[in-house]
Chains A and B, each alone.
Chain A
Amino acid sequence: MSREDRLGWGLVAPALLWTAAFFVLPFLAMLALSFAHMEGREVVHGFSFGNYVKAFGDWSQLKALVNSIEITLTVTVLSVLLAWPLAATIAWSVPPRWQRAALLAAILPFWTSYVVRSYSWALVLGKTGVLNRGFGLIGLGPYEMASTRFATVIGFTHFFVMLLTLTIYANLVQLSPNYLRAAQDLGASRLRAFVHVILPLTLPGIVTGAFVTFTLCIGDYITPQILGGNNELTLPQLIMLQMGRGGNFPMASALSVILMAVVTLAYAACARWLRLDRL
C-alpha cells in the first residue's frame, strides 16, 4: 500500500467506522432481533419468521402497512402536483430580482419546529378551529377534519410541497429557456413542448424529490400521531405501539425491516432517475 493509499484510508476510516458502528451494526442487530420472539415480557432469541407471518397475516397489523402506503402515495402525488406549478410560477413568472425572495417565502414555514407544525394544523382543522369557524360564518359545517386521514394528508402535503418546490425550482432554473423556444420554433404546441421537452428534462429533479418525500413520509411518526389520531394506525405508529405498550422489540424490529424493504422497493423503482448525491 502506497503512502497515498494509507493517507486516503486514514481520512475515510473515521466516517466509515462511524457508519459501520452506528448504522450498519444497529441495522443488523435489528434484523437479528426481528427473528426473535417474546415469551411473557422476555425476548427469546432464535430464528423464526413468526413476526413476519403475523405482520402479513394479521389484518390489524397489515392494515397499518396498507394505510401507510396509501397515505404516502397520496401525499407524494398530491405534493408533486401542487409543487410543480408553484415552482414553475416562481421560476418563469416572477421577475428575477424577486425570485429568491419568493422561493424563500415559499419554504419559510420549514423553520417552524416539526412537532409544532403538525400541532398548528390541528389548530386549523379542529372542530372549533379556524377553518370550521370560517365555514360556520357562511352557514356550513362544522366538519370533522381533525383526527382523520384527511388531516394527516394535509399536514404531510404542506411540508412536502415546500420541499418539492425547492427541488423542482432548482431543476427548472437550470433549464435554458431556449429548449422551450426551440420546441415551439419547430412547431410544438405549448402542451406538447411541455410533455416532450420540459417534463423529461425536469424528471430527475421531480423523481428525486418524490423519492425523498416518499421516504420521509412513510417513516414519519409525529404527523399521523398528532393529526390522524389513533383511529387508523400507520406503520410507524404501530412500531411505536409495539415497542411502547408491550416492549415487543422483536415485532417492532420486524415491522421496521418491512418498512425499510418498502423504501428499498421504492428506491429500485425510481433508481434510474435518482440523483441523491446531487440533492
Chain B
Amino acid sequence: MKRLSFLYLALAYAFIFLPVAVLVVFSFQDGRLPVPPFQGVTLKWYEKVLSDEGLMTALGHSALVAFGSSGVALALGFLAAHGLARVALPGSLLMRGLLIAPMTVSYLIIGLGLLTVFNQAGIKPSLVATGIGHVVINLPLCFAICFAAMGDHQKSAERAARDLGASEVQVLWHISAPMLAPALAAAFFLSVTFSWDEFIIAFLLTRFEVTLPVEIWSMLRSGLSPATNAIGSLVFLVSALVVIVLETLMRRKA
C-alpha cells in the first residue's frame, strides 16, 4: 500500500514537472528549435530575451499593472471587509454576495463586458483599462481573505482602541491593518500573482502598451523558438525563487 502510494506520488510529480522541465532544458538549446535532439548548451537565448526591448518593456508594464491593481484591490477589499464586519448593515449578506460574485465569472466575460462599456464610453484600451479589469478580478479575493481574517479578537481590540480615543482612521492604521498584516500580505501576494499572469483581459484591453503574457502570446504566433523557452524559464525561475524564499521565511517565523 505504502509503496503503491509513493509510486503514484512519483508519477504525479513527473506529470506535473514534465512540461516545466522541457521548457527549462530547451531554453539552453544550441539550435533553432526547442525540440529534441538537444544540441548543446548556450545562453544566447537568454541574452536575446534580456536585450529584447519589447519584452523588457512588457515586463515593466506587467509589474506596474500587477502592483498597482493589487494595491487598489487590497485597499478596497480591506475597507469593505472592515465595514461589513463592523456594522450590521441591512442587506449586508447581499453586499457580500455582490462583492464575491466576480469570482465566479470567467475573465473572458469580464474583459468583454469592460471592452463593450469602454468602447461606448470612448475609453481607449490601455494599461489603466487593464488595471481596472484586474481590480475587478482581485477585489473579491482580497475582500474574502480580509473578511475571513477578521475575528472577535480583532473587533475587541478595535473597540478598545476607540475607547482609548482613537479616531476611525487611527483604528484602521494602528490596529486593524497591523493585526491583519499576514492576511493582507497573503491577499496582496495572490493578487499580484493573478494579475501578473492574466492574459485575456490584458489582451482585450491593451493595444500599444502590452503586458508580458500578451507579448509572449505574440511571440508564440511567430512559431516555436528557444527564446520563448528562455523568457518562460526566466519568469518561472524568478517566481519560484520568490515563492520558496517566502515559504522558508514563513516557516522560520512560525
Contacts and interface: CB of A to CB of B under 8 A. Distances in A.
B193 interface: yes
Contacts of A106: 12-13, 16
B253 interface: no
Contacts of A109: 16-17, 19-20, 236
Interface string B105-125: 111111011101100100000
Interface in A10-30: 10-12, 14-16, 18-19, 22-27, 29-30
B13 A82 contact: no
A260 B83 CA distance: 30
Interface residues of A, number: 82
B9 interface: yes
B112 A239 contact: yes
A120 interface: yes
Interface in B84-129: 84, 86-87, 89, 95-96, 98-110, 112-114, 116-117, 120
A25 B107 CA distance: 15
Nearest to B120: A29
Interface in A202-245: 215-216, 218-222, 226, 236, 239-240, 243
A58 interface: no
Overall SS of chain B's interface: helix
Interface in A105-134: 105-106, 108-109, 111-117, 119-124, 126, 128-130, 133
Given A26-B116, A111-B243, A100 B251 contact: yes
B179 interface: no
A4 interface: yes
A267 interface: yes
A216 B197 CA distance: 14
Given A8-B83, A11-B83, A279-B144, A112 B20 contact: yes
Given A113-B212, A116-B232, A222 B200 contact: yes
B22 A124 contact: yes
B9 A89 contact: yes
A152 interface: no
Contact of A115 (B33, B103, B220, B244): B220
A114 B19 contact: no
A19 B117 contact: no
Given A7-B168, A253-B116, A123 B200 contact: no
The 10 closest A-B pairs by CB, nearest first: A219-B106, A11-B83, A26-B113, A8-B87, A116-B232, A120-B19, A15-B80, A111-B239, A12-B83, A15-B76
